[in-house]
Amino acid sequence: MNFNESVLNHTIDLLLKGKDYREVVLNTINTEFLDFAISFFKDIVYAKMHDKSIDFSWYQQYVIIKLSI
């Protein structure tokens, strides 16, 4: 997960002002996770619609290619 520059600047601003920054961080994490989950399920639906097998090797390829791990 990467914070974009505006989120990072906003978080640092809140920290320097002594304000609660957790909402910004949690919203960013939730947004990133939701984007990942939607993309993941879209890829599963695409694979199923094109009669591809969703097995361990498919998940491995998904992780290696999509997540660049």
* pLDDT, tens digit, 9 for 90 and up, residues 4-24: 888 899 999 999 999 999 999
The answer to whether the Cα torsion of 49, 55, 60, 63 is positive or negative is positive
Cβ neighbours of 33 (radius 10 Å): 11
pTM: predicted TM-score of the whole model, two decimal places: 0.69
> Measured in Å, how far apart are the chain's first and last C-alpha atoms?
13
Are residues 25 and 33 in contact, defined by beta-carbon separation less than 8 angstroms?
A: no
Residue 65 reports pLDDT greater than 70? yes
In angstroms, the CA 5 to CA 15 distance is 15
- For the chain, what are the domain ranges? 5-66
